[in-house]
Structure 1
């Protein structure tokens, strides 16, 4: 039996960072056009409501483009409509060119939401269909509306306690009948899909084989090295057995090759890589000689197990962990130094005082806080403070 090509741990790290745009020069010019190109390269950027520092999508893009400004993304989402907001594994900004491949997901999510306990919690019998129809009809008549435009006499709590109209809006959005043409104060504004994306709305739904090919090939192009499960998880639109079958066929056709990938602890695992991975590796630039602060939802951290294997970085998002049980903090940013994850810090922006507070700083085992390293971190913190509008930085004592 032939020995599989081996990707060493440093090679696997570089390939992943290169695929996800973290080896490119972040000082390159930031424009709506360069931002569109970046999002297409990443595939999507997760959108999140937590704003203890800045929105997740803004932090992810800022870590790759120094000159990025939120208005650039707003222009693409709300002006050009070259990006649209929908679900991958969570709410995300996605290239509109991919919209057709969200139609299978819309159909799937419609059926799943009807069967989910969440839906059953809100509606009984025909009530759900009536509320959904009424909400959609009102948007048809009146135009774009927010959840707050729909009154309901009951006071409800978060998510499980949503008022029926809010649940209906989310259902219509997740099933593709409504889109989010803009946000106001980060509240979603909903409108009919045919009014928001008229050219894309009428496109036919791809058949299962066409969608599988797109899902796997496009994910592979954004990972470069992957397992079938990682392919399936990338868009969260297909199942792992489907990705496994695609990998077998693609390997037989020479489009991808079986490899062994070395983890940072020396463990070797079977995987696949694009057939030209060696050429891509040779062409990758050296990592920028600077320190950057990554969003907790950064693509290289999304799969926590992969981040541990690739970088030896054990990361857990603790915003939803009770404070006494947190190991680090609420919204902890990993510290990327060149091509290494060397530490993490817990920031909080006090907007009323123009203060960026660093509540905690932790270096990874074996990382010495030398003067040069501290100086590079100070520069990164100053760049972050400027981006989020803080005049002062308060560091840990």
Structure 2
């Protein structure tokens, strides 16, 4: 099979077009556009960290400028998306429901483990939800002389609920205050949704085609990301699809990648106006750090899990994408009470500071509004030494307070 070479610039362009990050509002501006974003990406990771807007909202907003946080709740109510596990907890298109079944069946059978199953407790939980309707974990608390809260210990019940969720007996009907309401699966899955278990080949094709549609190009290792034991099987299936001309192979920067046949046609599209985007650390573009380094020459690590003395950029640094190039990172935190967006550390990694600032400042204001803030406080900025002084003078006129490192 022939291998077509593409440039680094074209590889990046293909990825960004596939990710919907090549121009403003490529999916449109309606509620359906939000569903289209999730369908294109195949999942959006659910984030518990809220120093700025949570990742599931942040990822969609970067691809749909008028996105509103109620959109995901509405799509859940309409049963057009559902919660389950991708490489992490995620919103997925309901149309892909059947492809969640292999993991569910593996956990239910004991082939894969989540929590140790308490059969007696699980039976009681299912009976109560069947009788009372959707319930939260707090509805299963114990009432006794030691604890005036419910009727059994919360932690075992929470584990049992999550086990039943991962097995597929329960689904999340909705969230309220970020707390899950669990419901019987048969009451959540809409009529007409295919609930048949995919064959191995169907499942591998789903993983391959979904990944390449969302990411533009990828290796078998990329496609099998965090799916233990699947890399060799994915690789074999990719080669079969290659022989059947359902895939093609591209070479870039000394690496070979699989891609969909229509990929080269995507490269005929024009990129939109160059703009700055502050990406969530859990954005679909970023989640595979090795791939990010290979294709974008950007070495990134989220540091919220790193001990504070060892952090280089900050607790929750957001990668800064300018056009098709990563040019820095911004550690930010919104104070929701005061409306101040604190930029703890802005690290800019380009010599074209003047050009970057032209696009960066409007994007900062847009990001501020997305986080429902009213003003920005920049505490520290790191830039190449030769532009430090003029940058400080410029920023003092634009931002309320600043301390230059």
Both proteins in one fold, TM over 0.5? yes
Counterparts of 1:280 and 1:61 in 2: how far apart (Å)?
21
Q: Report the CA distance between 1:174 and its aligned residue.
A: 1.0
Measure, in 2, the Cα distance between the counterparts of 1:326 and 1:136.
Answer: 45
1:87 pairs with 74, 85, 88, which one? 85
Q: Determine if contact 1:220/1:274 at 8 Å carries over to the other structure.
A: yes
Map 1:1-397 to 2 at 5 A. 4-26=3-25, 29-78=28-77, 80-111=78-109, 116=113, 119-120=115-116, 128-152=118-142, 163-199=155-191, 203-233=195-225, 236=227, 239-262=230-253, 268-282=254-268, 284-364=269-349, 367-368=350-351, 370-396=353-379, 397=403
1:28 and 1:108 map into 2 onto residues whose CA distance is 35
Distance 1:95 1:49 in 2: 20
* 1:307 and 1:313 in contact (8 A); partners too: yes
Deviations 1:304-352 (A, max 9, x none): 0011111111111111222122121111111111111111000011111
Answer whether contact 1:99 1:200 (CA < 8 A) is retained.
Answer: no
* Counterpart contact for 2:215–2:285, Cα < 8 Å: no
TM-score normalised by the chain length of structure 1: 0.88
Partner of 2:400: none
Offset at 1:58? 0.7
- 1:335 is paired with a residue whose SS is strand
Report how far residue 28 of structure 1 moved.
7.0
Aligned residues: 373
Query: Which residue pairs with 2:396 in the alignment?
Result: none
Question: 2 CA distance for matches of 1:202 and 1:216?
Answer: 20
Residues 135, 344 of structure 1: CA spacing in aligned structure 2 closer, same or farther, 3 A cutoff?
same
8 A Cα contact 2:249 2:259, kept in partner: yes
What's the CA shift for 1:198? 4.1
- Of 28-37 and 39-48, more deviation after overlay is shown by 28-37
Any stretches of 5+ residues in structure 1 without a counterpart? Answer: 156-160, 263-267
Instruction: Write the distance in 2 (CA, Å) between the matches of 1:383 and 1:62.
Output: 11
- Shift in Å, 1:370: 2.5
* Deviation at residue 368 of structure 1 after TM alignment: 2.3
- Report the Cα distance in structure 2 between the residues aligned to 1:224 and 1:332, rounded to whole angstroms: 26
Q: How big is the alpha-carbon RMSD for the aligned residues of Structure 1 and Structure 2?
A: 2.3
Distance 2:355 2:186 in 1: 55
CA distance in 2 between counterparts of 1:246 and 1:142 reads 46
